[in-house]
Amino acid sequence: MLPNLAIVLPIFALILAGWLARRSNALGPDATREVNRLVVYLALPALLFDIMANASPAEIWQPGFIFAFSAGCAAVFGITLLVRMRRGRRLADAAIDGLNAAYPNTGYVGFPLVLAVIGPDGLAATLLATILTACVLFGVAIVLIESALHSGMRRRDIARRTLSALVRNPLLLAPAVGALVMLSGWPVPKPLETFLDLLGGAASPCALVALGLFLADNAGRRPEEGRSAELLLVVLKLAVQPAVTWLVAVPLLGLPATAAQTAVLLSALPTGTGPFMLAAFYGRDALLTARVVVATTVLSVLTLSLYLAASQ
């Protein structure tokens, strides 16, 4: 448990830094929006481009791992979407809830945890999981949100408006361009790589600070649907997603032990900051998302420790 706690403590420290900065008025009332826009328009696109451009086709071609990890994400995302919409949630909000339940923090927590538990052999799979989470799953959610925001028009207008919004969205454009660079085989010039490292490295810290700012601005408020929705999303993220991944990885596919353990471990990670950034950016229910990120991060210290003890 102590190694897990050491990994997640910096996350809480960054959230606390944002909370204190807002409560002390060191950062003003517009800070949450502006820091979040910094992440969405600059830091995260740089990170997504860098991840895709520097990946190699041979490194990310692991079909068994891809299927197992994606199955866990897709199943939980789909279940959440259906359940939340049946309870009256709009498609845009249900898509963000789907991310809350299916978006593991592979970048900030996954790499150090996999390195500590599995070793260097698991890092390629962690990179692949980051691509599937931050590019593919994120992209699906953005498509659903944009489609929902343009509903009520004629189908042709919906398609045109949605396609226009998607083409201009930096969170989809950046990894798409990065994938083209990867497939071309062209190396990223060293000055550009340094620029991307500096700018992309700010994505996770700034997102966590923005989360702390938001929580300070909304202290005392309750999510619109109370605790039941939060509990549902936490259970889906920390229990259902790794269970589905295990069922696919072990009994169904019979993956090698290292690949199966890596897939399940990454699926069991807490919710990353991506859903919060989207919720704040699109003006949706960011309070529920913020609470899920904090709750899953806290509880993951226990759930990850239990999983690691059971897998040994």
2-311 adopts what CATH topology?
Na+/H+ antiporter like fold (1.20.1530)
Task: Say what the pLDDT of residue 311 is.
Answer: 75
Instruction: Give the model's pLDDT for residue 165.
Output: 61
Residue type at 211 in one-letter notation: L
Residue 1 is predicted with a pLDDT of 62
pTM over 0.75: yes
The tens-digit pLDDT sequence of the chain (312 residues) is 666 677 778 888 888 999 999 999 999 988 988 998 898 889 988 988 988 888 888 777 889 999 999 999 999 999 999 999 998 889 999 999 999 999 998 877 888 888 888 888 888 888 889 889 988 898 889 889 988 887 665 566 556 666 666 677 787 888 889 889 988 888 899 999 999 999 988 988 898 899 889 889 887 677 666 688 999 999 999 999 999 999 999 999 999 999 999 999 999 999 988 898 888 888 888 889 989 998 998 898 888 888 888 876
pLDDT of residue 267: 96
The predicted pLDDT at position 277 comes to 85
Predicted pLDDT of residue 60: 76
